[in-house]
Structure 1
Amino acid sequence: FGRIYTKAPKPASTNIVPIPSPDPDAEGRRLVGVQVDGQILRGFPTPSGRLEFYSRTLTDWGWAEYSLPTYIKSHIHRERLATDETVLISTFRLPVQIHTRSANAKWLDEIAHTNPLWIHPSHASRLSVQTGDLVRVETEIGYFVVRAWVTEGIRPDVVACSHHMGRWKLSDEGQRQLMATVSLAHEGSEWGLKRQRGVAPYETSDSDTLRIWWTDVGVHQNLTFPVHPDPVSGMHCWHQAVRVKRAEVGDKYGDISVDTQKSREAYKRWLGLTRPADTHSPDGTRRPYWLLRPLKPAREFYRLPEEKELVS
């Protein structure tokens, strides 16, 4: 087994999807493949050129316990949930809208424009909730108020609320077929968002805008999620431990409440789970250079600042 390098420039490719780029060799030649039993193969874009079952990168960067595949109990593992908590699958979505990119697709908006909370009949029964009732979904930093949709299409121990919904604006200007007009207020670190108006028919050069029959555009649940950076990758851990309750007196559909101080405290707790590069980097860089990044900075920007640079 051996690695194959070349001094030839990388040829142009029609593949626009980025791939990881392992380091060149000591002579600056780029890795193009591996040799196995005398045969040259492309291999994998990893430091070893192989499909890695064991990751030396994780070991070198201070995560040796995860260098082999293993089961990790996440923040929403059942052992870490309180007795009255359940898991909100916030990455669930109806297969119609695509983030904010499809908000101007009028036919898609007509098909999917709201995001009720999917809840199993056994769970709904404990709460005395029926389809269409308002429920309050409480996270560790706030809550949102949404309608329930009671269905056996979801497990009894989880709830789900489709994302891509709940777009909002502070005035009547802007997109008018999938954005609610809201008011935003705060006192100290506590912020509240209340829906003022949904959508309605309006006149344009496209006669279909007069055919808008819906008013509901969903609830923006993401505002109530604290930042949960995964300690290893830094990517956001979306799933939430929540408490689902019947709506309280005064709750209105679309209400959102968030305490930004609690959000900051949650972020700092998660930040404390990381193993910073300044104490764990094996080569004085911020992160492994070979790992995939859609827009990759030049190598010099990976270098950690020296102590004298920090002082100046």
Structure 2
Amino acid sequence: MALTPTWNESAWFADYVLPMGHASERHDVSSFETHNGRWIGFRQPVARRHRELDGEVFERTYEANPGEVWEEQEFWIDLSWRIDPDGSLGIRSQFESWENPGTPLTLDEYYTMLFERSVPGLPEAAEAEGLAPLEYMRRKGSFALPGDQVKVYERDVPEVDLVGADRDEDGVWRRPGTAGSYESLDDIAGHMPFIGDGSPAVDINGQAKLGFPTPSKKLELFSETIRDWGWPEYALPAFIRSQVHWEDLDLTAGERILVPTFRIPTLIHTRSSNSQWLNEISHRHPLWLHPSDAEQLNIEENGLVRITTRIGHFVISAWRTEGIRPGVVAASHHMGRWRLEEEAARSWGTGKASIDRDDDGRWRLRREHGQASYGSDDPDTGLIWWTDTGVHQNLTFPVQPDPISGMHCWLQRVTVAPAEAGDAYGDVVVDTEASHRVFEEWLAKTRSGPGPGGLRRPLWMARPVKPKATAFGYDS
């Protein structure tokens, strides 16, 4: 099942495709790094809100959206009630209205709870204008958190926030029944904070300060967590020889470091494939390589290059530039969108492609042709003048999970060479069996659990929508 606001490659293989709302068709919160501060923005479904102001009443946003497009949040709420109609599974109760028990939670209730309880200073600002926090955000659209948002750790913690907490020998105020002070995971009731262990303050020169969201409430140069969880050699910051360490490369054999994550300022990941003007500006991403590397590897300007990874290869054009370091090559992401049918699911940035499998079991995505003008309800599709749509390089990258954090290690050790006979621009070839073998190699770098206290992972580390503490138990 694909829940998506726009057609995408994953949707080709889904049994069901459920259209979800874009930013102007759903409720959502957002925040970005814009200035020396912290703020939260509130998106609203434009059609629904406009019609509500005219007096109409809606139970769900799809009733007002063009094409009955759903809000994903409402979908999950309603699905929980379909899965657990009588509440016997304990699921329905998590999504039940507190204003009207026996009915599903509404998004008005959800965002009322969020704005009243989770945004410091917002309830007070709303009250000053005679508004509820939700109505304040509906009218204003955003809210900047008051006070210094840089040295948050130096904030004084009022005595009322220390009630029920005990100061330990390290000066940390621990509150029983939180991840910072418990005897059994059952003692930790309710949901844990996004980050931190629930300890309210740390004593600094006799004053209770907010501190950092670490176990010590201080900025930790030495991490007891890393040590206690089986990685003592990394408890202090140190150089780690990565999977693309330059001394491991065989430069004479064409090995280089590929940077696949750099971005250009006109596109947003691959989502901007649906933006007409952005695709007109940027629709190709040649491989950046230094002229000295190009000479050594016999690669011409605009010539086709085969980039070979441990599980496959892709074919892309070359751009010789001194804007990149020798020994490193780079291809920006954003591009390489494709479709399997000529007329279906066209956009401003997709090329027609086919998928097949060779005798060795390798998958090949081959570009049949690039972008071209076409007729549609939008007359501008007849004005498309560009043909390139880029190359989808990510499929050729093996899964490389960092053994401590689990995060994907994006940089790739690759072999760079001129394209071979039979190669075509846009080719993507992947050996899925090799992909599994590489994953097993990275998996072997991890160290077995459970961790201290029989835990799956540290309770204090950041995690969106943390489950109850008992779920962290290894035997749960």
Give the secondary structure class of the aligned counterpart of 1:107. Answer: helix
Give the letter for the 2:353 counterpart: V
**2:119 paired residue number:** 13
CA contact (8 A) 2:275 2:348 kept: no
Runs of 4+ deviating beyond 3 Å: 26-30
- The 1-side partners of 2:430 and 2:223 are apart by 40
- The 1-side partners of 2:361 and 2:463 are apart by 35
Match status 1:176 vs 2:347: yes
Give the secondary structure class of the aligned counterpart of 1:195. Answer: strand
Q: How big is each residue's C-alpha offset from its partner over 1:28-74, in whole Å with a ceiling of 9 and x where there is no partner?
A: 69322222112222210111100111101001100010000101010
Give the secondary structure class of the aligned counterpart of 2:430. Answer: strand
Deviates more, 1:239-248 or 1:25-34: 25-34
- The 2-side partners of 1:23 and 1:268 are apart by 33
Residue correspondences, number? 290
Give the secondary structure class of the aligned counterpart of 2:394. Answer: helix
* Counterpart pick for 2:382 among 206, 210, 220: 210
* Counterpart pick for 1:227 among 381, 386, 399: 399
Tell me how far 1:107 sits from its aligned partner: 1.2
Q: How big is each residue's C-alpha offset from its partner over 1:159-217, in whole Å with a ceiling of 9 and x where there is no partner?
A: 00001110112113113211112111114531111001211112334332222111111
**2:436 paired residue number:** 264
Match status 1:79 vs 2:251: no
**1:31 paired residue number:** 199
- The 2-side partners of 1:181 and 1:295 are apart by 39
**2:234 paired residue number:** 66
Q: How big is each residue's C-alpha offset from its partner over 1:213-240, in whole Å with a ceiling of 9 and x where there is no partner?
A: 1111100001111111111111111111
CA contact (8 A) 1:177 1:200 kept: no
Give the letter for the 1:103 counterpart: S
**2:448 paired residue number:** 276
Structure with a larger share of its residues in helix: 2
CA contact (8 A) 2:257 2:414 kept: yes
CA contact (8 A) 2:307 2:417 kept: yes
Give the secondary structure class of the aligned counterpart of 1:58. Answer: helix
**2:356 paired residue number:** 185
Deviates more, 1:201-210 or 1:95-104: 201-210
- Max radius of gyration: which structure? 2
Tell me how far 1:130 sits from its aligned partner: 2.2
Specify which structure has the bigger relative contact order, considering alpha-carbon pairs within 8 angstroms and separated by 6 or more residues: 1
Structure with a larger share of its residues in strand: 1
**1:143 paired residue number:** 313
**2:474 paired residue number:** 304
Could you list the runs of 5+ residues in structure 2 that have no partner in the other structure? 1-115, 121-142, 145-177, 189-196
* Counterpart pick for 2:462 among 279, 292, 309: 292
Give the secondary structure class of the aligned counterpart of 2:299. Answer: coil
* Counterpart pick for 1:52 among 220, 232, 236: 220
CA contact (8 A) 2:271 2:334 kept: no
Tell me how far 1:11 sits from its aligned partner: 4.2
- The 2-side partners of 1:94 and 1:117 are apart by 13
**1:43 paired residue number:** 211
- The 2-side partners of 1:294 and 1:114 are apart by 35
Deviates more, 1:57-66 or 1:75-84: 75-84
CA contact (8 A) 2:354 2:365 kept: yes
Give the secondary structure class of the aligned counterpart of 1:125. Answer: helix
- The 2-side partners of 1:190 and 1:113 are apart by 28
- The 2-side partners of 1:108 and 1:252 are apart by 26
- The 2-side partners of 1:46 and 1:260 are apart by 40
Could you list the runs of 5+ residues in structure 1 that have no partner in the other structure? 1-9, 17-21, 307-312
Deviates more, 1:85-94 or 1:26-35: 26-35
Q: How big is each residue's C-alpha offset from its partner over 1:242-281, in whole Å with a ceiling of 9 and x where there is no partner?
A: 1111111111000111111111111101100001223xx1
What is the TM-score with the length of structure 2 in the denominator? Answer: 0.58
- The 1-side partners of 2:409 and 2:198 are apart by 35
Matches within 5 A, 1:111-130: 111-130=281-300
Give the letter for the 1:201 counterpart: S
Tell me how far 1:300 sits from its aligned partner: 2.1
- The 1-side partners of 2:428 and 2:386 are apart by 21
CA contact (8 A) 2:260 2:332 kept: yes
CA contact (8 A) 1:23 1:47 kept: no
Percent sequence identity over aligned pairs = 48
Q: Give the root-mean-square deviation of aligned CA atoms.
A: 2.1
What is the TM-score with the length of structure 1 in the denominator? Answer: 0.87
**1:3 paired residue number:** none
Q: Aligned in 2, Cα 1:305/1:171: closer, same or farther, shift over 3 Å?
A: farther
**1:242 paired residue number:** 414
CA contact (8 A) 2:288 2:321 kept: yes
CA contact (8 A) 2:270 2:333 kept: no
